[in-house]
Amino acid sequence: MAISGQIRNRAHELRDYTAKNLSKLIQMKSYSSQEENVCRLIVDLCKEAGFDEVKVDRLGSVVGRVGYGPRTIAFDAHIDTVEVGNSANWTFDPFSGEIRDDLVLGRGASDQKGGAASMITAGKILKELNYDGEFSVFFTFTVMEEDCDGMCWKYLIEEENFKPDFVVSTEPTSCRIYRGHRGRMEIRIILKGISCHGSAPERGVSAAYKAARAALAIEKLNEDLQPDDDHFLGKGTITVSQIQVSGPSQCAVADYAMLYCDRRLTWGEDADLAISQVRQYVSEAIGDNDFTVEMPDYEKVGWTRKPYSQELYFPTWKIERNHPLVEAGVDAYEELFESEPTVDKWTFSTNCVATTGRHKIPAIGFGPGDEDQAHAPNEITRVQDLEICSAFYALLPYKLAGKNL
């Protein structure tokens, strides 16, 4: 039997194994920077699956390997999740990991512990096949992505000197092949006023009113942003996500305001451009230049207590449809499932902002579950998706063999 048939059959035989592992991962609560317990579970699962090497990096991510080839490919899943939010919006226990009606239920089922469970199964299949191809196949289970996407990979590349030849993100794609997404950055605008007694506001300068005009300026900027030249990634966006206004008292004109903005960056846009646009639009709206526009840093210590930080800038990335990695993914999908895959892009952001946006490692996305399940109540993923992805991950190193960049 051809290798693709062996992989497809074994992924089907292991579908319950994969679903049960996902259930275990969901039951292990793992908010950003609090992933220790799920990381230790993943270490055990990878060892039980027969991985050739399993270790934890100094930032807390689990790195497993199958094979000893001279080239490297890394399959990546972040294993932290966002919090539950309003529990009244859930119709089941977010951490039950219940398997019901060919679905796995719970926080992280799609975003994105489903990818992690499928990766473990893929490693197990490769070991059973005695894989000895040209790749060392790495499986990275990474931390703190929900807080700061890509920082875990920035650390792996820049501090641990681990830079694979190819990356596959297992974020949810509904089992489609994705080849890019917009970047993003966070922007903080600080506005100044002059306080005075609230009984005579004409004596002061209100930072609150400046903030209102600045917010409307950001709305206008969002309307004016243009799409990329080939209309693949679409237009950039910007929105005000938080506003804070304060002054000496409740009976005073506000002398301080802060607007926090989420900026999504299409192809050809970067941090310098985005900040200059905000400066221009806010200056025109408030009639002066006495304000600050800045990009904050992320500074949160993870479960290993290793200090590490970065600016909140996450570069845009894409690779071309005819790139060898995309073509290998298409070949693998067609050989496994006898149909043509959809090739598209994400709406949201992933760790590929670091691997590909920052460090130019070719990457694709292929993951179980749906993007619209991310951060939503009643999160689920399909067991069928887990099976499909397990087979795809196991076959891809074979299909990449011999392909040159």
- Compute the C-alpha angle 185/369/56, nearest 5°: 65
Strands (E), 23-96: 53-56, 62-66, 71-78
- Compute the C-alpha angle 336/182/172, nearest 5°: 35
Phi, psi of 246 (to 5 degrees): -150, 165
Asked whether 97 and 105 are in contact (CB, 8 A), the reply is: yes
- How far apart CA 96 and CA 75 sit, in angstroms, is 26
Question: What's the token pair of residue 372?
Answer: 């619209």
User: Residue 132: exposed, middle, or buried by beta-carbon count in 10 A (0-12, 13-18, 19+)?
Assistant: exposed
Which residue among the candidates 57, 76, 111, 145 is catalytic per the annotation? Answer: 145
Which residue among the candidates 76, 80, 385, 387 is catalytic per the annotation? Answer: 80
Q: Is 224 tagged catalytic?
A: no
First to last CA, the chain: 30
| DSSP per-residue letters across 362-382 | -EEE--SS-GGGTT-SS-EEE
Q: Is 80 tagged catalytic?
A: yes
Q: Amino acid letter at 266?
A: T
Question: What's the token pair of residue 38?
Answer: 């799920």
| DSSP per-residue letters across 75-137 | EEEE--B-----GGG-SS-TT---EETTEEESTTTTTTHHHHHHHHHHHHHHHHTT--SSEEE
Helices (H) and strands (E) in the chain, counts: 10, 20
Among residues 76, 79, 80, 109, the alpha carbon closest in space to that of 92 is found at 109
- How far apart CA 388 and CA 117 sit, in angstroms, is 12
Strand partners, 168: 75, 364
Contacts 24+ apart (CB under 8 A), 45-54: 45/21, 45/120, 46/120, 46/123, 46/139, 49/120, 49/121, 49/123, 49/124, 49/127, 50/123, 50/124, 50/127, 50/128, 51/123, 51/127, 51/139, 52/127
Return the active site residues.
80, 145
